[in-house]
Amino acid sequence: MELHDVAVFGTRHILTESPVFDGQQPAYQEYFRGDLLAWYSTGKLEEALAKGMEVYVVSIRPVFGQQDAWWQALVPADRVFNATGIFAAAVNGDPLEASFAPWRRLYRQLGVPWPEGQFSDFDDPSLWLASNCGVKDGSLFTGHRLLC
């Protein structure tokens, strides 16, 4: 695998609460406290897939919701990483380190060395990965296309 064929997304790159184009149908709808909430695709995941990229999704969310089922059907489960231990870490340990756990798994799977000692409280591993290993690509695509 060459890393330039890899795209890394957070769920914030995939889902939005507003339509991206006129007439767009929601990917998922649900009622919450009496209001209809709609989730729309940003189109970015689909663009990366159409370009033949190997797509990964990384999230600090401990579980995914029903609004995520449509994109989970498009991305192989072994390329989706979430912070399953973040609740326990918030109570008993280090939630910052728990939020890095899915990123560590991604880096390990991609063979990219973890930048030990590079992160402080509010640093984002995705920004480090993008600034050191990637660029944004395409008209809609704002996930990270890796070039390292």
Is the pLDDT confidence value at 74 over 90?
Answer: yes
Structural domain total, the chain: 1
Give residue 124's Cα distance to chain centre: 12
Is the pLDDT confidence value at 100 over 50?
Answer: yes
Average pLDDT for 31-51? 88
* DSSP codes of every residue in 39-75: EEE-SHHHHHHHTT-EEEEEES-SS--GGGHHHHTTS
- Residue 87: inside a domain: yes
Neighbours of 92 (CB within 10 A): 9
Q: Identify the pLDDT of residue 122.
A: 47
Average pLDDT across the chain, whole number: 76
- Residue 123: inside a domain: yes
Is the pLDDT confidence value at 90 over 50?
Answer: yes
Q: Identify the pLDDT of residue 119.
A: 58
Handedness of CA 89, 124, 137, 18 (dihedral sign): positive
Is the pLDDT confidence value at 73 over 70?
Answer: yes
Q: Which domain holds residue 134?
A: 3-14+42-146
Q: Identify the pLDDT of residue 75.
A: 96
- Residue 37: inside a domain: no
Q: Identify the pLDDT of residue 138.
A: 38
* Residue 111 Rama label (left phi>0; alpha psi -120 to 50; beta): left
Average pLDDT for 29-58? 88
Q: Identify the pLDDT of residue 128.
A: 54
